[in-house]
Amino acid sequence: MKLVTKILALTLAMIMMVGFAACGSKTIPDEPADKPAKTYVIYSDNAFAPFEFLDTATNQYVGVDMELLAAIAEDQGFAYEMKNEGFDAAMGAVQAGQADAMIAGMTIKPERQEIFDFSEGYFEDGSILVVGKDSPISSVEDLKGKVVAAKKGTTSTDYAESIKDQYGFTIQYFEDSPTMYQTVVNGNADACFEDFSVIGWAIKNDGIALKTVGDVVNPGYYGFAVKKGSNPELITMFNAGLANLKANGKYEEILAKYGY
Ligand code: GLN
Protein backbone atom coordinates (compact mmCIF):
# COMPACT_ATOMS: atom_id res chain seq x y z
CA MET A 1 0.00 0.00 0.00
CA LYS A 2 1.27 3.42 -0.87
CA LEU A 3 1.93 5.73 2.04
CA VAL A 4 -0.77 8.16 0.84
CA THR A 5 -3.34 5.35 0.65
CA LYS A 6 -2.27 4.16 4.11
CA ILE A 7 -2.72 7.63 5.59
CA LEU A 8 -6.07 7.96 3.84
CA ALA A 9 -7.28 4.57 5.13
CA LEU A 10 -6.10 5.40 8.66
CA THR A 11 -7.80 8.79 8.58
CA LEU A 12 -11.01 7.20 7.34
CA ALA A 13 -10.87 4.59 10.10
CA MET A 14 -10.31 7.34 12.67
CA ILE A 15 -13.23 9.39 11.33
CA MET A 16 -15.46 6.33 11.54
CA MET A 17 -14.32 5.58 15.10
CA VAL A 18 -14.93 9.15 16.21
CA GLY A 19 -18.30 8.99 14.47
CA PHE A 20 -19.30 5.82 16.31
CA ALA A 21 -18.03 7.18 19.58
CA ALA A 22 -20.03 10.34 18.99
CA CYS A 23 -23.15 8.29 18.26
CA GLY A 24 -22.51 6.21 21.34
CA SER A 25 -21.99 9.15 23.62
CA LYS A 26 -25.11 10.74 22.20
CA THR A 27 -27.43 7.81 22.85
CA ILE A 28 -26.21 6.99 26.36
CA PRO A 29 -27.14 10.26 28.12
CA ASP A 30 -30.49 10.24 26.34
CA GLU A 31 -31.46 6.87 27.79
CA PRO A 32 -32.73 7.91 31.23
CA ALA A 33 -35.03 10.49 29.68
CA ASP A 34 -36.50 7.84 27.37
CA LYS A 35 -37.11 5.39 30.21
CA PRO A 36 -40.74 5.49 31.36
CA ALA A 37 -41.22 6.93 34.88
CA LYS A 38 -41.94 4.51 37.73
CA THR A 39 -45.54 3.39 38.11
CA TYR A 40 -46.24 2.92 41.81
CA VAL A 41 -48.44 0.03 42.86
CA ILE A 42 -50.93 1.27 45.46
CA TYR A 43 -53.31 -1.02 47.34
CA SER A 44 -56.61 -0.21 48.97
CA ASP A 45 -59.66 -1.69 50.61
CA ASN A 46 -62.42 -2.91 48.28
CA ALA A 47 -65.58 -2.08 50.25
CA PHE A 48 -65.18 0.87 52.58
CA ALA A 49 -67.58 3.56 51.40
CA PRO A 50 -67.30 6.50 51.22
CA PHE A 51 -63.51 6.04 51.02
CA GLU A 52 -63.27 3.29 48.41
CA PHE A 53 -66.09 1.30 46.89
CA LEU A 54 -67.11 -0.14 43.55
CA ASP A 55 -69.41 2.05 41.49
CA THR A 56 -71.47 -0.71 39.87
CA ALA A 57 -72.65 1.63 37.09
CA THR A 58 -69.10 2.21 35.82
CA ASN A 59 -67.34 -0.80 37.39
CA GLN A 60 -64.75 1.66 38.76
CA TYR A 61 -63.60 2.14 42.34
CA VAL A 62 -64.64 5.57 43.59
CA GLY A 63 -64.60 7.38 46.93
CA VAL A 64 -62.69 9.97 48.93
CA ASP A 65 -59.40 8.00 48.94
CA MET A 66 -59.61 7.16 45.23
CA GLU A 67 -60.26 10.78 44.26
CA LEU A 68 -57.75 12.28 46.68
CA LEU A 69 -55.00 10.00 45.39
CA ALA A 70 -55.87 10.70 41.75
CA ALA A 71 -55.80 14.46 42.36
CA ILE A 72 -52.54 14.27 44.33
CA ALA A 73 -50.86 12.11 41.66
CA GLU A 74 -51.92 14.58 39.00
CA ASP A 75 -50.71 17.54 41.05
CA GLN A 76 -47.34 15.87 41.75
CA GLY A 77 -46.94 14.15 38.38
CA PHE A 78 -46.55 10.52 39.43
CA ALA A 79 -48.12 7.43 37.89
CA TYR A 80 -49.72 4.59 39.84
CA GLU A 81 -51.71 1.43 39.45
CA MET A 82 -54.54 0.94 41.94
CA LYS A 83 -55.37 -2.48 43.40
CA ASN A 84 -58.49 -2.74 45.56
CA GLU A 85 -57.82 -6.02 47.35
CA GLY A 86 -59.16 -5.48 50.87
CA PHE A 87 -57.76 -3.84 54.01
CA ASP A 88 -55.80 -6.69 55.58
CA ALA A 89 -54.51 -7.74 52.14
CA ALA A 90 -53.31 -4.17 51.52
CA MET A 91 -51.41 -4.07 54.82
CA GLY A 92 -49.84 -7.44 53.98
CA ALA A 93 -48.89 -6.35 50.46
CA VAL A 94 -47.16 -3.17 51.69
CA GLN A 95 -45.29 -5.04 54.41
CA ALA A 96 -44.20 -7.72 51.92
CA GLY A 97 -42.92 -5.04 49.50
CA GLN A 98 -45.45 -6.21 46.92
CA ALA A 99 -47.16 -2.80 47.04
CA ASP A 100 -45.42 0.59 47.15
CA ALA A 101 -48.09 2.18 49.32
CA MET A 102 -51.68 1.97 50.52
CA ILE A 103 -54.59 4.33 51.01
CA ALA A 104 -57.53 2.64 52.70
CA GLY A 105 -59.09 4.76 55.42
CA MET A 106 -56.10 3.60 57.44
CA THR A 107 -55.83 5.10 60.90
CA ILE A 108 -52.42 6.41 61.92
CA LYS A 109 -51.43 4.94 65.29
CA PRO A 110 -48.19 4.31 67.18
CA GLU A 111 -48.18 0.49 66.76
CA ARG A 112 -48.49 0.92 63.00
CA GLN A 113 -45.83 3.63 62.91
CA GLU A 114 -43.32 0.93 63.90
CA ILE A 115 -43.88 -0.80 60.54
CA PHE A 116 -45.27 1.91 58.26
CA ASP A 117 -44.38 5.51 57.45
CA PHE A 118 -47.47 7.69 57.17
CA SER A 119 -48.36 10.89 55.39
CA GLU A 120 -50.04 13.74 57.23
CA GLY A 121 -53.55 12.79 58.36
CA TYR A 122 -56.29 13.68 55.89
CA PHE A 123 -59.53 12.69 57.68
CA GLU A 124 -60.51 12.11 61.33
CA ASP A 125 -62.63 9.17 62.46
CA GLY A 126 -62.95 6.55 65.19
CA SER A 127 -64.75 3.29 66.03
CA ILE A 128 -68.31 2.85 67.19
CA LEU A 129 -70.38 -0.07 68.46
CA VAL A 130 -72.88 -1.28 65.86
CA VAL A 131 -75.88 -3.57 66.48
CA GLY A 132 -79.01 -4.74 64.65
CA LYS A 133 -81.65 -2.07 64.02
CA ASP A 134 -83.96 -3.52 66.70
CA SER A 135 -81.32 -4.88 69.04
CA PRO A 136 -81.76 -4.23 72.80
CA ILE A 137 -77.97 -3.85 73.20
CA SER A 138 -77.38 -0.29 74.39
CA SER A 139 -73.74 -0.35 75.52
CA VAL A 140 -70.65 -2.55 75.71
CA GLU A 141 -71.92 -3.78 79.11
CA ASP A 142 -74.66 -5.66 77.23
CA LEU A 143 -72.11 -7.67 75.21
CA LYS A 144 -71.64 -10.35 77.92
CA GLY A 145 -71.88 -13.81 76.33
CA LYS A 146 -72.43 -12.25 72.88
CA VAL A 147 -70.63 -12.69 69.57
CA VAL A 148 -68.93 -9.66 68.05
CA ALA A 149 -68.08 -9.65 64.34
CA ALA A 150 -64.72 -8.05 63.50
CA LYS A 151 -62.85 -7.13 60.32
CA LYS A 152 -59.30 -8.44 60.27
CA GLY A 153 -56.47 -6.03 60.93
CA THR A 154 -58.55 -2.97 61.77
CA THR A 155 -58.39 -0.54 64.66
CA SER A 156 -61.99 -1.52 65.50
CA THR A 157 -60.85 -5.12 65.88
CA ASP A 158 -57.90 -4.05 68.05
CA TYR A 159 -60.41 -2.24 70.22
CA ALA A 160 -62.78 -5.23 70.41
CA GLU A 161 -59.86 -7.50 71.35
CA SER A 162 -58.74 -5.08 74.05
CA ILE A 163 -62.13 -5.15 75.85
CA LYS A 164 -63.43 -8.67 75.10
CA ASP A 165 -62.29 -10.23 78.39
CA GLN A 166 -63.52 -7.30 80.43
CA TYR A 167 -67.01 -7.49 78.86
CA GLY A 168 -67.10 -11.24 78.26
CA PHE A 169 -67.79 -11.53 74.52
CA THR A 170 -66.24 -13.64 71.78
CA ILE A 171 -64.99 -12.45 68.39
CA GLN A 172 -65.66 -13.81 64.91
CA TYR A 173 -63.31 -12.54 62.19
CA PHE A 174 -64.15 -11.39 58.65
CA GLU A 175 -62.14 -10.06 55.71
CA ASP A 176 -64.41 -7.20 54.69
CA SER A 177 -66.94 -4.75 56.06
CA PRO A 178 -70.06 -5.87 54.09
CA THR A 179 -69.73 -9.51 55.26
CA MET A 180 -69.24 -8.29 58.83
CA TYR A 181 -72.40 -6.11 58.64
CA GLN A 182 -74.43 -8.91 57.04
CA THR A 183 -73.50 -11.31 59.83
CA VAL A 184 -74.96 -8.88 62.36
CA VAL A 185 -78.04 -8.19 60.20
CA ASN A 186 -78.65 -11.97 59.92
CA GLY A 187 -78.30 -12.40 63.67
CA ASN A 188 -75.26 -14.69 63.37
CA ALA A 189 -73.35 -12.12 65.41
CA ASP A 190 -74.77 -9.64 67.94
CA ALA A 191 -72.62 -6.62 67.19
CA CYS A 192 -69.57 -5.27 65.43
CA PHE A 193 -67.31 -2.23 65.66
CA GLU A 194 -66.74 -0.04 62.63
CA ASP A 195 -65.44 3.41 61.71
CA PHE A 196 -68.27 5.84 62.43
CA SER A 197 -68.39 7.57 59.03
CA VAL A 198 -68.29 4.25 57.18
CA ILE A 199 -71.11 2.56 59.08
CA GLY A 200 -73.00 5.86 58.89
CA TRP A 201 -72.75 5.74 55.08
CA ALA A 202 -73.84 2.07 54.94
CA ILE A 203 -76.93 2.73 57.09
CA LYS A 204 -77.87 5.93 55.27
CA ASN A 205 -77.00 5.09 51.66
CA ASP A 206 -77.12 1.31 51.48
CA GLY A 207 -80.07 0.82 53.81
CA ILE A 208 -78.18 -1.66 56.03
CA ALA A 209 -80.49 -2.60 58.95
CA LEU A 210 -78.05 -1.64 61.70
CA LYS A 211 -77.72 1.19 64.21
CA THR A 212 -74.85 2.73 66.15
CA VAL A 213 -74.74 2.72 69.95
CA GLY A 214 -72.89 5.11 72.27
CA ASP A 215 -69.96 7.33 71.38
CA VAL A 216 -67.01 7.13 69.04
CA VAL A 217 -63.92 5.59 70.65
CA ASN A 218 -60.23 5.86 69.73
CA PRO A 219 -60.49 8.72 67.25
CA GLY A 220 -57.54 9.17 64.93
CA TYR A 221 -56.52 10.41 61.51
CA TYR A 222 -56.45 8.42 58.28
CA GLY A 223 -53.10 8.49 56.48
CA PHE A 224 -51.47 7.27 53.28
CA ALA A 225 -48.82 4.66 54.16
CA VAL A 226 -45.64 3.05 52.82
CA LYS A 227 -43.51 0.30 54.34
CA LYS A 228 -41.25 1.89 56.97
CA GLY A 229 -38.14 3.30 55.32
CA SER A 230 -39.28 2.73 51.72
CA ASN A 231 -40.50 5.15 49.02
CA PRO A 232 -39.90 8.29 51.11
CA GLU A 233 -40.48 10.38 47.95
CA LEU A 234 -44.07 9.09 47.81
CA ILE A 235 -44.81 10.40 51.31
CA THR A 236 -43.20 13.73 50.40
CA MET A 237 -45.28 13.97 47.21
CA PHE A 238 -48.50 12.92 48.98
CA ASN A 239 -48.02 15.61 51.66
CA ALA A 240 -47.11 18.29 49.11
CA GLY A 241 -50.08 17.35 46.91
CA LEU A 242 -52.46 17.26 49.88
CA ALA A 243 -51.31 20.75 50.93
CA ASN A 244 -51.89 22.00 47.38
CA LEU A 245 -55.37 20.46 47.22
CA LYS A 246 -56.23 22.06 50.56
CA ALA A 247 -55.01 25.41 49.26
CA ASN A 248 -56.82 25.25 45.92
CA GLY A 249 -60.16 23.98 47.24
CA LYS A 250 -60.00 20.54 45.59
CA TYR A 251 -59.73 18.69 48.94
CA GLU A 252 -62.90 20.37 50.19
CA GLU A 253 -64.63 19.66 46.88
CA ILE A 254 -63.85 15.92 47.08
CA LEU A 255 -65.07 15.64 50.69
CA ALA A 256 -68.22 17.63 49.89
CA LYS A 257 -69.00 15.22 47.05
CA TYR A 258 -69.24 12.44 49.65
CA GLY A 259 -71.25 14.47 52.15
CA TYR A 260 -68.58 16.06 54.38
N1 GLN B 1 -59.68 2.96 60.01
C2 GLN B 1 -59.65 1.56 60.29
C3 GLN B 1 -58.22 1.09 60.44
O4 GLN B 1 -57.32 1.79 60.14
C5 GLN B 1 -60.38 0.71 59.27
C6 GLN B 1 -59.79 0.73 57.90
C7 GLN B 1 -60.51 -0.16 56.91
O8 GLN B 1 -61.27 -1.05 57.31
N9 GLN B 1 -60.29 0.07 55.65
O10 GLN B 1 -57.98 0.00 60.85
- Residue 138 class from Cβ within 10 Å (0-12 exposed, 13-18 middle, 19+ buried)? exposed
Global confidence as pTM: 0.87
* Structural domain contains residue 36: no
| Co-location of 134 and 211 in the same domain | yes
Task: Tell me which residue has its CA closest to atom 5 in ligand 1.
Answer: 154
Give, for 117, the enclosing helix (H) or strand (E).
strand 116-118
Residue to probe by mutation, ligand 1, list 106, 175, 199, most atoms within 8 Å of CB: 106
Residue to probe by mutation, ligand 1, list 127, 195, 199, most atoms within 8 Å of CB: 195
* Structural domain contains residue 1: no
Helix (H/G/I), strand (E/B), else coil: 105: coil
- What's the domain range around 172? 125-219
pLDDT tens per residue across span 85-143: 999 999 999 999 999 999 999 999 999 999 999 999 999 999 999 999 999 999 999 99
| Co-location of 153 and 90 in the same domain | no
* Structural domain contains residue 118: yes
CB neighbours of residue 245 within 10 Å: 21
Name 11's Cβ contacts closer than 8 Å, sequence gap at least 6: none
CB neighbours of residue 200 within 10 Å: 17
Q: Give me the pLDDT at residue 37, please.
A: 81
The CATH number that applies at residue 207 is: 3.40.190.10
| Co-location of 106 and 48 in the same domain | yes
Number of domains in the chain: 2
pLDDT tens per residue across span 22-67: 444 444 444 455 566 899 999 999 999 999 999 999 999 999 999 9
Looking at the CA of residue 48, tell me the nearest atom of ligand 1: 9
Give, for 149, the enclosing helix (H) or strand (E).
strand 147-151
Rounded CA gap, 175 and 113, in Å?
22
pLDDT tens per residue across span 186-228: 999 999 999 999 999 999 999 999 999 999 999 999 999 999 9
| Co-location of 229 and 192 in the same domain | no
- Distance, CA 216 to ligand 1 centroid (Å)? 14
Name 159's Cβ contacts closer than 8 Å, sequence gap at least 6: 127, 193, 217, 218
> Which residues have any ligand 1 atom within 6 Å of their CB?
45, 48, 87, 104-107, 151, 154-155, 195
In this structure, the strands spanning 123-132 and 147-151 are unpaired
- Inter-residue contact 234 to 40 (CB < 8 Å): yes
- Residue 156 pLDDT > 70: yes
